[in-house]
Amino acid sequence: MKSTSRYWGWLALSTGVLILVMGLSLRFGADQMRTATVWHALTTTHTGNLDQQIIRHIRVPRVLGAALIGAALAGSGALMQAVTRNPLADSGLLGINAGAGLMLTLCLAFFPKLSTLQTTGWAIIGAAASAGLIFSISTARHVQLDPTILVLAGIAISSLLTALSEGLALVLQLKQDLAFWYFGGLGAVSWTQLKFLGPGLVLGLLLTLLLAPQLNLAYLTDDNAQSLGKSLPLLRGLALICAVILSGISVALVGTITFVGLMIPHMARWLVGANYRNSMPLTLILGATLTVGADLIARLVNPPHETPFGIIISLIGVPCFIYLARKEPMKA
């Protein structure tokens, strides 16, 4: 009973904080809006003044996009940590984001007229190819995944793919065009992008929540899971597919953002326990809160100029990664 009340308490509190941060993000930016202006922009259908149009057509899709992407990155990290049984795993550290980023670079260099949906599809293919390569390396001499080799392979492949992306950008003079993806930013998120990519993120997040109760089985051996009538290879496959889709879409929207998927699952487990049934919903909410908050800070640091919010997240994430690397053993 105590653990249940604690779970619902943290879930309610985190939801309230998310709503508050989203409201602040709608109000503050290069121009500070009055609360009444924000309220009228959200509750009326007429065209309104310029401030209300800015809120409806720029800030609302930006805030919604930040929330969806934060939840997607956090959920992807939690899935990766469960599948690999590695507390230091996330889509950025394991090279999945870099694979999507390389494919985006290729699309921009050689197929600049591709639609948003087509570009995102190629980003997902790049993420899947990178994930497949890393997992094949980490299981080359072992029946099961080796967490240490997995992290080392992820770092190596990520560095290689990032170097290829930057090399192509330099040779083809795309450095300025790709600066957005290198540092991460939500300035280009629009209703058009959300219309095409939002449903994919929502479906991926719903699948993540559906898989959450089964993820606890990922820490069993294959034989033990089979004795319970569960198929671990199927579970791992579904979780990996979901993580790749969430990461690929997120990278296509805002660029390569790391550390969200590393920090947030740990925070959620610390608050409500290791059971994925409880920690996964909180993980998604906390991930959304972090990215919306980081984007708000990025807009307030040096107005009217915008600081890439990926820098803000990295400033928070690097110390957390060092702490976790010292604290958490990489055990299979």
Q: What is the pLDDT of residue 138?
A: 74
Q: What is the pLDDT of residue 177?
A: 62
Q: What is the pLDDT of residue 289?
A: 93
Q: What is the pLDDT of residue 220?
A: 66
Q: What is the pLDDT of residue 332?
A: 42
Give me the residues of the chain with pLDDT under 70, please.
1-3, 47-48, 93, 140-147, 174-184, 220-231, 321, 324-332
Which domain covers residue 97, as residue numbers? 62-327
Residues listed for the chain: 332
Q: What is the pLDDT of residue 285?
A: 96
Do the domain assignments include residue 6? no
Do the domain assignments include residue 115? yes
Domains: count for the chain: 1
Q: What is the pLDDT of residue 130?
A: 87
Do the domain assignments include residue 46? no
- The CATH number of residue 148's host domain is 1.10.3470.10
Do the domain assignments include residue 23? no
Do the domain assignments include residue 36? no
Do the domain assignments include residue 280? yes
What count of other Cβ atoms lies within 10 Å of the Cβ of residue 332?
14
Do the domain assignments include residue 249? yes
Long-range contacts formed by 49-55: CB under 8 A, 24+ apart: 55/26
- Terminus-to-terminus CA distance in the chain, angstroms? 32
Nearest to 271 by CA among 298, 293, 289: 289
The one-letter amino acid code at 70 reads G
Contact 321, 262 (CB under 8 A): yes
Do the domain assignments include residue 24? no
Residue 123, both tokens: 């980003």
